[in-house]
Amino acid sequence: MAEPVAATVSVPSARVTHLGVVAGLAMGPAVGLGLGRFAYALLLPAMRADLGWSYAVAGTMNTANAVGYLIGALAAAPLAARVGDKRGFLAGVLLTALSLLATGLATDTASLALLRLVAGAAGALSLVTGGSLAASAGGGGGRGRPTLALGIYFGGAGFGMVVSAFAVPALVASVGWRSGWFVLGALGLLGAMLALPALARAPAVAIHGGWRRPAFAAHATSGLRAILASYVLFGAGYIAYTTFIVAYLHTRLGFDATEVTLFWGCAGAAATGAGLVWGPLLTRLSGGRGVAAANAVVTLGAVLPVLLPTREAVFVSALLFGGSFLIVPTAVTAFARKAAAPHAWTAAIAMLTTGFAIGQCIGPWLSGEVSDHSYGVAGGLLASGAVLAAAAAIALLQREPRD
């Protein structure tokens, strides 16, 4: 295997960066994931009814988003090598917000799919570059500090879910789904403004020339193959829940806008604080055990509403799923930080995110097809649970990186 091109690296110092910087950077996942991807579930029932979509077509919208995410993940590291992580992060957040605004103006399915693709690409750019910045900001302090910092960073997606839960369902029910996209776009622009002070203070890992040879990408993930395979399956499995669960609650249990707000808000609140709960555990778990444990809880949360379709079980599901699904990327990124050299962090995170994105491209369409042709949305959720269980099992094969 060819060696990676020599890189000029600005390695994070031992100085402890205030975690408020990481919280500001968490606006990246808040906009790119919480608003740009997950909030689509809140709009899907109204869009499906108004546009006459099947579940397969509705799922294809998030497949388009995932294809965009794949494109963004592939482009993120070479782009960051040219313009820097900070500029890439800001560009990703702003482009996500603008694409959400434009979605409210789209008039046909093709335009909607294209805008979902753009939002996915921009969200991946901000997530990859922001993850590298958060990993850099997590340097210094105690042994568990990097994992805590990453937990706070990815928890931003949960914050985006909470905000969208209170901003979107009632508005969509009274005005229509287009108004929901306008609000999401405006919130995305606000998130970009809130991230600016943290972005100015964040220490960056500067890379020059590292992506001039394709071998560098393979080198960056050479010790992460089991984690990578698990992450692909996680991407395919979790997205069925975040895409179709609200539609399931509408059709199976008759949830109204208020109940959807409470459900989505509970899931988002659990996701926002999950890093604080999981952080000490992830620090103690070696190899891929942290990724496996998080996937196991996600699996239980995903299938619980189908196995026990009661309102009480649904809210337990929100806490279990919400409190664990963002821990998977947290654990994956923390492991990559241990396994890769600092100059390869952006490359390693980008390659792992690429695998994750490939899984996401498959998941929504597959779940939609299952929902249309077998047991409805319940069948799609159960199929995703099986994929998530496989992700947990494969993660156990990952060994601790060598010193």
Average pLDDT over all residues of the chain: 84
CA distances from 51 to 42, 48, 108 (A): 15, 5, 9
pLDDT grade, residue 63 (50/70/90)? confident
* Mean pLDDT calculated for residue range 40-66: 88
202/165 Cα distance (integer angstroms): 29
- Supply 15's token pair: 């100085």
| Amino acid found at 356 | F
Q: Which residue has the tokens 């494109």?
A: 71
Nearest-angstrom CA–CA distance, 356 and 65? 13
How far apart CA 246 and CA 45 sit, in angstroms, is: 8
Domains of the chain, first to last: 19-205+223-395 (1.20.1250.20)
Q: Which amino acid is at 59?
A: G
Give the confidence band of 215 by pLDDT, cuts at 50, 70, 90: very low
Write the pLDDT tens digit of every residue in 165-189: 999 998 998 999 999 999 999 999 9
Residues of the chain with pLDDT > 70: what percent?
87
Instruction: Give percent of the chain above pLDDT 90.
Output: 45
Using only C-alpha atoms, what is the Rg of the chain? 19
pLDDT at 207 over 90: no
Q: Are 12 and 205 in contact (CB under 8 A)?
A: yes
In terms of average pLDDT, the best of 51-60, 142-151, 190-199, 338-347 is: 190-199
Q: Is 125 helix (H, G, I), strand (E, B) or coil?
A: helix
pLDDT higher than 90, residue 21: no
For residue 19, count other CB atoms closer than 10 A to its CB: 17
pLDDT digits (tens, 9 = 90+) for 358-380: 888 887 777 777 777 766 778 88
What is the rounded distance in angstroms from the CA atom of residue 229 to the CA atom of residue 217?
Answer: 16
**What is residue 17's predicted lDDT score, i.e. its pLDDT?**
52
Residue 3 tokens read as: 């060696």
Residue 242: name the closest of 172, 312, 313, 157 by CA. 157
293: helix, strand or coil: helix
**Which residues touch 354 (CB under 8 Å, ≥6 apart)?**
70, 73, 74
Q: How much is the pLDDT for 27?
A: 95
pLDDT of amino acid 191: 95
Q: Give Cβ neighbours of residue 220 (< 8 Å, ≥ 6 apart).
A: 4, 340, 344, 347, 348, 351
Can you give the pLDDT at residue 161?
92
